[in-house]
Amino acid sequence: MSLFLGSGKWVLIPGAIMRITGGTVKGQRLATVRWPDIRPTADMVRGSIFNIVGQDLNDLLVLDLFAGSGSLGIESLSRGAKSCVLIDNSRRSLAIVRKNIAMCGFKEKSIVIKADLPKGLNQVKNYGYEQFDLVFMDPPYGSGYVTPTMTKLIQETLLHQDGVIVVERSTRSTDSLPSRIQGLKLNQSKTYGSTIVGFYGFPCHEGE
C-alpha cells in the first residue's frame, strides 16, 4: 500500500511501496503516487546511486531538482547530509515531498521550493545557499530539461568544485546525456532496466 493525497486527505491505496534504503531512517516507507508528473526513483536504482556517490554523506549540502516524491533528497538526509533543498513546480508533488519529510523527521534540515526549472534556480541563493556538494536531477523524460538545467546550475555557480550531479533519463527518451557541458564531464553512466543514470563532475586536472 502507498499513501495518496485525495480530496485534501491522505489515504492508503494499492500501489508500489517505496522505502528509504539506508541511513538513520532505513526502511521508512515513503508516500508516493504514480501520476504522469510524479515518477519516483525505484528503490533499487536509488540504492545503486548511493553505492556510487557514497553511503556516508556527512555534512554535505544537497539539491534535489524535479523532486517528485523527494525520495533522493530525503535519502541523502538519512545518510547524513547536512541539509537539502528540494524543488518542483507541481503542487501535488510538493505536498508529497512535505509529507515524506515530516514522516522521516527532517523538517529542520529541508527547504521545499515551488519553482519552474531551470529558471527557478536563481531563487536558491535567496535561502542562504551558495553551493551544493550533490545535485540530483530527475526531469520528466523527453522534456528536454537536462541540458538547460545543467547549464543554469553552472551559470548560477551552484555546484561546488568537488561536487557531483546525478542525472536520470529513460532509455526510451530522446534526451541525451552530453559527455561534456559547461566544464562538467560525464564520469560514468549506469543502466538499470529502462533507467540511465549519469554522474557528472568537474575534471580533477586541467585538460582532463
The CATH number of residue 150's host domain is: 3.40.50.150
Q: Is residue 207 part of a domain?
A: no
**59 φ/ψ sector (left φ>0, alpha ψ -120 to 50, else beta):** left
Q: Report in angstroms the alpha-carbon separations of 124 from 6, 97, 127, 147.
A: 30, 17, 6, 19
- Distance between CA 206 and CA 47 in Å, rounded? 32
Q: Is residue 22 part of a domain?
A: yes
- pLDDT tens sequence across 83-115: 999 999 999 889 999 999 999 999 999 999 999
Q: Of the ranges 28-42, 83-97, 115-129, 194-208, which one carries the lowest mean pLDDT score?
A: 28-42
Three-class DSSP category at 63: strand
Q: Is residue 7 part of a domain?
A: yes
Q: How far apart are the first and last CA of the chain?
A: 48
- pLDDT tens sequence across 2-18: 333 443 443 333 445 78
Retrieve residue 149's grid coordinates. Answer: 538545467
Omega of the bond prior to 118 within 30 degrees of 0, cis?
yes
Containing domain of residue 123, as a range? 2-201
Q: Is residue 208 part of a domain?
A: no
Q: How confident is the model at residue 44 (pLDDT cuts 50, 70, 90)?
A: confident
Retrieve residue 42's grid coordinates. Answer: 525505484
Whether residue 141 contacts residue 167, with contact meaning beta carbons closer than 8 Å, is answered with no
How many structural domains does the chain have?
Answer: 1
